[in-house]
Structure 1
Amino acid sequence: MSNSPSNPTHAGQAIVDSLALHGVDRVFTVPGESYLAVLDGLHGANIENVIARQEGGASYMAEAYGKFTGRPGVAMVTRGPGASNAYVGIHTAWQDGTPMVLFVGLIPVADRMRESFQEFDPYAWFGTQTKRVFVLDEPNRASDVVAEAFFAASSGRPGPVVVGLPEDVITKEFTAALTAPIPVAEGAVDAAQLEAITQALDGAQRPLLMVGGQRWSAQAAAQVTAFAEKNNIPVVQDWHAADRIPFGSPVNMGSLGYGRSAAAATMLADADVLVSIGCVLGDVSSDGYTLRQDPDAVNYVISPDTTLRGRSGNLSAHVLASPVAFAAALEGIELGAGERWEDWRAAGREAQVKVSTIPGDEQLPATAPGTARMSVVMRELISRLPDDVVNSVGAGNHTAWAQWYMPTNVFPSALSTRNGSMGYSIPAAVVAAKQAPARLSVAVCGDGEFLMNGQEFATAAQFGAPILAVVMDNRQFATIRDHQEHHFPGRVSGTQLQNPDFAAFARAFGGHGEYVDDDAQAAEAVQRALAAVAEGRPALIHVVTDQAIALP
């Protein structure tokens, strides 16, 4: 493929042209003098440059983009401090298996190994938490390196890739041809593998599907749902992967991991055949390697990851295929044993419906004066949500309100972190609002979690991302407080917070803010906030809650 008519050009321009060739529509950046040539390439390009307020926010946005689109999200930061701030997104993408490419400006080549300003070793810093690390030392390889980076990020089990850009190299002339995208294989399911799995399911008394991981599409999610519903097979979803099976599906048994119901864990333990699609039974989903660790358990895993990183328990067979390839292979299959499993499925579904329904006021715990109940606010919000809402959460006890109650009817509709990283909710919500402007983007935040990247509310305002943030203010790091009370009861230390007026914070950035400290205020606050979002403004609802109510 030839260059654009403007050749000869510099390597920074070639990188931008290569991003466009790979279908990149926006990048997430914090500017730095170390990669000015790439910023110059973005000038006038048909790629939106979303400028974040901190590199952690930019890398989270790139990671969320990878989850939401299935294509590598792109972040760009400067060397040293910028790269270190961006590391949080790299770790998230590594543990979540998300395609992402981080471009990092570097010192000039001649200045290496001299302790020059902001110098660091990208191989040493990122080598253990990425699929590959590249450093561009030859300007004519700029496009080739982009293609290799995107392929590495997308193939097999996806993950993050880092590309280092020495500031002098990217200013040099680029005279090579642009490198076309490298196709990524979906893998395949042969007839013998498919027959073995379907026969195992057909002969089971308590079959179970488990879904999660990356490499899904909306079509694949619909195909797996159709197969499970047609054959009456219950499905559990991996932790923070709640959008593969629709919220209201009769085969949806809920999520595993932190905040999971007892019924979901029991079904995982009791299933006589488990087929995991796109994910493995890891630390969190197995309750710390305690569930389904029987060496004789029948476990089939469908995954494009040759290493099955993170797997625990017995492995009966591994099908080397993506969820997209396996879902296509399931099309039209009828096992004919659905009636046999009705009691098994119905009991699990009944338990899940109970868990995912917000109790009435009389069943909710009493709350202290000057506080509101998060469940009441969520009930008012959920009653007004469109079917295709996207919800984003970070990490902490507050995520339970989203995990249990927020509807996830289409794929993708849930953005979150599986590595327990805080500060993710607002950057991820910005991405959803930008990528799907016709859909409502809601972030459910904790007070501690929100302030780790709450400044990206400014990015939402600047770049036309009308998100709705619901901030649960219990004036503490509640998850750690829970652990503290368990191990050192009555000795509260290092977990208490003094918070600002988050509603005023939102208004300061040009958004809409609501302050709720009584249940009676919830309905009108939600209505006004949603109206502001409909007008194109980001909005925030500050919910003051009782410290004693840590979970729904």
Structure 2
Amino acid sequence: MNKPRHAGQAIVDSLVLHGVRRVFSVPGESYLAVLDGLHGGNIENVVTRHEGGAAYMAEAHGKFTGEPGVAMVTRGPGAANAFVAVHSAWQDGTPMVLFVGLVPTADRMRESFQEFDPAAWFGTQTKRVFVLDEADRASEIVAEAFFAAKSGRPGPVIIGLPEDVITHEFTGTLHGPIPVADGAVSGQELEEIRSALASADRPLLFLGGQRWTPQAAAQVTGFAERNGIPVLQDWHADDRVPSHSPVNAGSLGYGRQETAARMFNDADVLLAVGTVPSDVPTDGFTLRQHPDAVNILVNIDTSLRGRSGAVSRHVVASPVAFAEAVDGMDLGREAAWDAWRAAGRSAQEQLTALPETGSLPETAAGTAHMSVVMAELAKRLPEDVVRTMGAGNHCAWAQSYIPTNVFPAQLSTRNGSMGYSIPAGVAASLAAPERMIVAVCGDGEFLMNGQELATAMQYRAPLLAVVMDNGQYGTIRAHQEQHFPGRVSGTQLSNPDFAALAEAFGGHGEKVTGDEQAAAAVERALKAVLVDRRPAVIHVVTDPKIMLP
């Protein structure tokens, strides 16, 4: 005789209906019934070493696949630790569903052990906050949560699970996925876009945001290349158009080139797809703020959250719908924009050119140039490499030397959140085991979630981490030198041997303290990842005075 299905099992069964293949978790006694539902099933439960790591992996999975990443954590401290990834998902528009165990219903409002109010905690940083108070609504709420996470501008959704309710018998109906609309480009809107671009002297595409697919990225690339329209990409959204594309003029945001900023400001027609001119690409609301600017925003978000500057036309459509609408469109003006396009392309090619050893500044004894290590790595990377990054000056080396030629090819955060690179690398490796994953990390950033190398080992998720060790929080030190020169305070670090740490986790470690060691270290590390299928770390000891490529 089969035992009755409890609500925890119904939740898992609903996840299966929604195509979920894996969840990321730290176990807790507050959601044991869901863990029981996962037992022996078809969903892989990737057990991580910190809730921040689990939630970052779910957020990265959402970015990488377009489907909501799922994390499960316990109440109180577990939920608090996961909040950093919820904030990342909110600012990046990433589909994500976080299940959080809660106190039993009878213990509410009594300052119970690890009690908190999920709506009060998460309400301003999520699309919806659900609390399952009726066992028979378990599947319905899962369906509603996935719909909210994916529809419109994607984002994080919370499902609170009272410890007692999820043990109750489920007699309700299992709910499948709710279809998500892509919007559409009407015939009139398409003609307006065609007319605006065809009459422009300096047209520009600005790409980013979520709701992209590999096919949409390829179609939009084809549209831009066929018509010779230069493309700028949003900050940390460098993979919508391939690095090698002749229309790729770079990206905006921190570390952007002056040429890119000038093109963004000077374009007489800006067509933004999937993203909006927000504070980072506009240099803190200073670029493209003239009221008569022609800005056509193609965005499925009806609120245009984060937008600044003028809006000439808002087309409510996802990148997928836009790509289908312009696929095959030929404006017949490619030659007219040759000089405009060439300036941006030339600047981008200079930025990504591999360095000549003789041109690099002298580095202190016992240190190596990060540029040399990254150049040796770049020579050996496959076309479809995936790069992951946290936040900090070290990201500049990834953006300069690791190409993004096959969408999706980059996982990073737009909220400046550190500790993301390793969890994101694990999530990408599990989602696409056939692709090479390279995490570029700062020494401070790596140690915020470097323990997830244990997860990489346990679940056979080989990735290569390149750790830049300059003994400081480099980004903050750079700001410090600008505002308070010569007064170093609160930014210096004393680091472990990151190569030895990798070995302790069961991975492969290399320590580079001179440029002459770079090539051999890269070769051995790549062998460990690609042949031995083990995570590897290249610890690059750098001169703290050399902060940028």
Q: TM-score, normalised by structure 1?
A: 0.99
1:547 maps to amino acid: P
Aligned position for 2:286: 290
Shift, 1:358, TM fit: 2.4
Deviation, 1:356, is 1.0
Task: Say yes or no: does 1:33 pair with 2:29.
Answer: yes
Query: 1:514 matched to which residue of 2?
Result: 510
Aligned equivalent of 2:64 = 68
Q: Alignment partner of 2:488: what SS?
A: coil
Is 1:545 the counterpart of 2:537? The answer is: no
Amino acid at match of 1:175: T
What per-residue deviation string (whole Å, max 9, x for no partner) do you get for residues 451-498 of structure 1? 000000110011100110000000000000011111111100000000
Counterpart of 1:86 in structure 2 is 82
State the match for 1:421 in structure 2.
Answer: 417
Structure 2 letter corresponding to 1:438: E
**Which residues in structure 2 correspond to 1:527-546 (within 5 Å)?**
527-534=523-530, 535-546=532-543
Aligned to 2:354: 358
- Matched to 1:544, the amino acid is V
Residues 284-305 of structure 1 show CA distances to partners (whole Å, capped at 9, x for unaligned) of 0000001000000000000110
SS at 1:448's partner residue? Answer: helix
SS at match of 1:82: helix
Matches within 5 A, 1:305-324: 305-324=301-320
1:148 aligns with 2:148: no
Alpha-carbon distance in 2 for matches of 1:198, 1:450? 46
Q: Which amino acid counterpart does residue 538 of structure 2 have in structure 1? A: I
Once the 2 structures are TM-superposed, how far is the Cα of residue 220 of structure 1 from its aligned partner? 0.2
Q: Distance in 1 between matches of 2:447 and 2:310?
A: 42
Amino acid at match of 2:228: N
* SS in structure 2 at match of 1:307: coil
Residue number among 423, 427, 436 corresponding to 1:440 in the alignment: 436
How much has 1:207 moved relative to structure 2? 0.2
CA distance in structure 1 between the aligned counterparts of 2:514 and 2:101, rounded to whole angstroms? 49
Matches of 2:159 and 2:287, distance apart in 1: 39
Counterpart contact for 1:7–1:175, Cα < 8 Å: no
**Contact 2:355–2:372 under 8 Å retained in 1:** no
* Aligned pair partner of 2:119 in 117, 123, 138: 123
Q: Is structure 2 residue 522 aligned with structure 1 residue 526?
A: yes
C-alpha displacement of 1:166: 0.2
- Shift, 1:539, TM fit: 0.4
Do the aligned residues in 1 keep the contact of 2:393 with 2:547 (CA within 8 Å)?
yes
In 1: Cα distance, 2:463 partner to 2:47 partner: 17
**Structure 1 residue 548: Cα displacement:** 0.4
Between the aligned partners of 2:337 and 2:112, the Cα distance in structure 1 is 66
**CA distance in structure 2 between the aligned counterparts of 1:491 and 1:27, rounded to whole angstroms:** 46
Q: For 1:392, what is the secondary structure of its paired residue?
A: strand
SS in 1 for 2:232: strand
* 1:263-274 correspondence runs (5 A): 263-274=259-270
How many pairs were matched up?
A: 548
Residue-by-residue CA offset, 1:180-217 (whole Å, 9 max, x unaligned):
11000000110000110111000000000000000000
1:468 to 464, 471, 485: 464
- After superposition, give the CA deviation of every residue in 1:416-470 in whole Å (9 maximum; x if it has no partner): 0000000000000001110100100110000000000000011001110011000
Q: Structure 1: which amino acid aligns with 2:273?
A: I
Distance 2:94 2:520 in 1: 38
Matches within 5 A, 1:325-404: 325-404=321-400
SS of alignment partner, residue 138 of structure 2: helix
* CA–CA distance in structure 1, aligned partners of residues 40 and 2 of structure 2: 13
Q: How much does 1:6 deviate?
A: 5.2
Counterpart of 2:219?
223
Q: For residues 82 and 361 of structure 2, what CA distance do their matches in structure 1 show?
A: 40
- Measure the CA separation in 2 of the matches of 1:97 and 1:6: 42
8 A contact 1:67–1:214 mirrored in 2: yes
Distance 2:359 2:265 in 1: 30
Give 5+ residue unaligned stretches, structure 1.
none
Gaps in structure 2 of 5+ consecutive residues: none
Map of 2:131 onto structure 1: 135
Q: Distance in 1 between matches of 2:345 and 2:100?
A: 47
> Which aligned runs of 4 or more in structure 1 are off by greater than 3 angstroms?
none
What RMSD, in angstroms, separates the aligned Cα atoms of the two structures? 0.7
CA deviations 1:7-57 (Å, max 9, x no partner) are 730000000000010000000000000000000000011011001100000
2:48 is matched with: 52
Aligned partner of residue 305 in structure 1, secondary structure: coil
2:166 corresponds to: 170
Structure 2 CA distance for aligned equivalents of residues 440 and 295 of structure 1? 45
Q: Could you say what secondary structure the match of 1:370 adopts? A: coil
Which residue matches 2:498?
A: 502
Corresponding position of 1:42: 38
Match of 1:249 in 2: 245
TM-score of the pair, normalised by structure 2: 0.99
SS in 1 for 2:517: helix
